[in-house]
């Protein structure tokens, strides 16, 4: 899968996703240093590039991110545990449990034991994690 990593995503998470064979563009390497990029601008950039947005931004949970049916999707990682080994295992499980078709037009919220998929047209759906 092809991802656009939000500036708030730690480098080790980007490395994990790349090590799993996915293509990741790291937005913090190209972000203008003199201004904050609004959430809707980043979502639009992911759509323009045909990339799934990968973030830890809590605004996703509060409805500040919107995706259209043609958007590649958003994955947001919402766990309190900051242990690198745990997060690595969680990311691997998430990417093993999702595919591009399932993500298209949706927001996937990764929690410690499941993925909750939000769609504009359907009720939210809980997806069990396949942890390695």
| Nearest residue to 1 (alpha-carbon basis) of 26, 29, 20, 28 | 20
Other Cβ atoms within 10 Å of 41 Cβ, number: 10
Domain count, the chain: 1
49 — pLDDT class (breaks 50, 70, 90):
very high
1 has a pLDDT exceeding 90: yes
Chain segment 22-43, per-residue pLDDT in tens: 999 998 887 666 567 777 788 8
Domain span including residue 95 = 2-128
pTM equals 0.88
123 has a pLDDT exceeding 70: yes
């Amino acid at each position: 899968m092809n991802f656009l990593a939000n500036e708030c995503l730690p480098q080790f998470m980007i490395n994990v996703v790349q090590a799993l064979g996915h293509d990741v563009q790291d937005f913090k390497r190209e972000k203008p240093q003199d201004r904050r990029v609004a959430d809707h601008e980043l979502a639009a950039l992911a759509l323009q590039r045909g990339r799934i947005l990968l973030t830890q931004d809590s605004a996703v949970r509060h409805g500040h991110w919107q995706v259209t049916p043609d958007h590649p999707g958003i994955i947001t990682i919402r766990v309190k545990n900051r242990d690198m080994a745990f997060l690595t295992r969680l990311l691997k499980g998430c990417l093993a449990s999702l595919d591009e078709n399932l993500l298209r037009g949706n927001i996937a919220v990764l929690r410690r034991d499941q993925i909750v998929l939000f769609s504009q047209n359907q009720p939210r759906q809980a997806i069990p994690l396949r942890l390695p």
